[in-house]
Structure 1
């Protein structure tokens, strides 16, 4: 028997045969179900709610469930996504569902422990079993898709050549924020998708794998992150706006909940590790001091919100506005900065290294690091106006 606490949506699902026979929405009230409860509260004007499908059926159930899934959206909604890319996205979403289940598993605590394996970068970023498993899940899904030529991952020293015929290149951070797993803090997966550079096909495998992976962010055709938190949210862009899909655990579908995310032009939140305040350059300290006193261009006092999980901090910033930043040469251009900047820009915001637009930068090595500032357009412009905001001295860190 269903409990009284079961969400209204699931009451509606259980009553679907009755609802199909109703002639008007008003008759829902005769069943004691307020129709308006289907609509969630709007976040920053984005109209956060499950969207009704347009003459489509659920990819999982084969019945008309009334909502648009990720694959239905890219396959039927006229956004001009090629069939090869639809197939690739189906395999990517499957990989992310597996990672979501892994992160939520009672065994993730032991999987989150560090090992003595060699790592790319500092000891602070040493791979953990959970990172490695997530990386293997993604690589396996990309291989099975048959649509990927090369995968470059934060967890691998070099790109992995998969197929000579694959039309796409995928760059990924398989599990961002994994060192927070023990404390059940949100984590995420980041993807960027490029077209394979066919003009490089005659080069040796190692060389063409590397050059395909070092494409400028301006050449991205799609980018996404998946947030593993109280809900599992897949936020994606194909270069014509940013949208989010939320995983419905009852069906296994990612359901469209944010059809057109627009980051507010100005927020009231900054996200940064300000325990490092005294290591910051003068310009960054002045900016933070100014906005949290309400003396900046926006005459309200800013609040600090910092999770120390890039995907989680960015997701909040994307919905509420403000700035999410790491002023150190720490975040990776290929796997993190480029895909996330593409998502933010398509929502009306900006990605910057403190001096330049992220998507204008040309990567010169696979694991290249840089400062990263993401957020509302007006907030980023004000921050950049302070000039000296990149932290070049990093006491306590080895990069």
Structure 2
């Protein structure tokens, strides 16, 4: 009798086996996600060698957001743009690091039905401290006619129109998490083999959450409803415990990934130094909201469902709450009461 050795399934195998879950599956999904897989490997290698390759620290420049660019911001942006362009699978992109959308004007890319919006390196201010950073991406089916250059309206779509979204985390291990609207799955990179393997199948937010992630240094500027929630989270119970524990890294993907696995809520409200909130709707809030809802959680701006907001600008900012459904609804209740 032959012995069979079980092995984990690779990302490529998983995508092919689940093509039926992608409404427009004609091989494009495989190519798109393969682009992020390849670029993620390259960024992972660069981050692991950053201290040896003289690519830590700042460039001395600011991006369109007015934020100081890290050298790895620039590197990651170039890697993802070049990989997506060279694969010929998208007709254009929006990046946090670029002032306007980029159109890949050539016959192959113009014929693509898809556009990508991304934050190439989320949490880059943490790089020099060796704290987990990540990449966030969102994929849409374009509204303009394939075969022509992309237009602004191809990117200015509500989050409900996303066909896929995901993120990569670069930390103690490199993990790619994505959804196409049929659940959320995570794949861990094995550097020895050079492949991503399924490690987190059908990720779901736990029914109860135990952590909250917010930059409490901005407490004095928070709306009253947010302050009320924080006071609730910090109150001392009769048994000496508190309802929630604070966990905040300043890296969106790191906080979201932890909360998705163990239960919790992430908050970046309005009323901080950014009057409309700090996170960008199209390439941070929307993809994370899509993943959150597919994992059984909830995402809102405190009043409205994030994915129903119709964007007006490619770098539009929004207040953002997401995580365990009961906690998000509690914050919404506090906001409504004041």
Same fold, judged at TM 0.5 (above)? yes
Do structure 1's residue 171 and structure 2's residue 117 form an aligned pair?
yes
**Distance across 2 between alignment mates of 1:197 and 1:178:** 32
CA deviations over 1:9-45 (Å, ceiling 9, x no partner)? xxxxxxxxxxx9658x9xxxxxxxxxxxxxxxxxxxx
Matches within 5 A, 1:1-399: 22=3, 66-77=7-18, 79-81=20-22, 82=25, 83-107=27-51, 110-122=54-66, 125-162=67-104, 163-199=109-145, 205=149, 208-293=150-235, 301-328=243-270, 329-387=277-335
Contact kept in structure 1, 2:212 and 2:264, CA below 8 Å? yes
Aligned to 1:13: none
Measured in 2, the distance between the counterparts of 1:185 and 1:131 equals: 15
Larger radius of gyration between Structure 1 and Structure 2: 1
Offset of residue 199 of structure 1: 4.3
| 8 A contact 1:265–1:379 mirrored in 2 | no
| Contact 2:163–2:180 (CA under 8 A) maintained in structure 1 | yes
Distance in 2, matches of 1:195 and 1:146, equals 15
SS at match of 2:178: strand
Question: CA–CA distance in 2 between the matches of 1:134 and 1:263?
Answer: 29
Alignment length (residue pairs): 322
Q: Which secondary structure state, in structure 1, belongs to the residue aligned with residue 60 of structure 2?
A: coil
User: Which ranges of structure 2 fall in alignment gaps of 5 or more residues?
Assistant: 271-276
Secondary structure of the corresponding residue to residue 319 of structure 2: strand
Does structure 1 retain, via aligned residues, the 8 Å contact 2:269–2:319? yes
Given that 1:282 and 1:389 are in contact with CA atoms closer than 8 Å, whether structure 2 keeps it comes out as no
Secondary structure of 1:324's aligned partner: strand
In structure 1, the residue corresponding to 2:91 is in which secondary structure? Answer: strand
Q: Pick closer, same or farther for the CA change 1:108–1:314 going to 2, 3 Å.
A: farther
TM-score (norm 1): 0.76
Partners of 2:165 and 2:287 within 8 A in 1: yes
**What secondary structure does 2:334 align onto?**
coil
The 1-side partners of 2:242 and 2:127 are apart by: 35
1:56 is matched with: none
Superposed CA offset, 1:292-326 (max 9, x none): 2267xxx9521101111000000001011110111
Any stretches of 5+ residues in structure 1 without a counterpart?
Answer: 1-19, 26-51, 53-65, 391-399
Could you tell me the TM-score, scaled by structure 2's length?
0.89
Alpha-carbon spacing, 1:199–1:294, altered in 2? closer, same or farther (3 Å): farther
Change (3 A) 1:304 1:317: same
Indicate the SS of the match to 1:74: helix
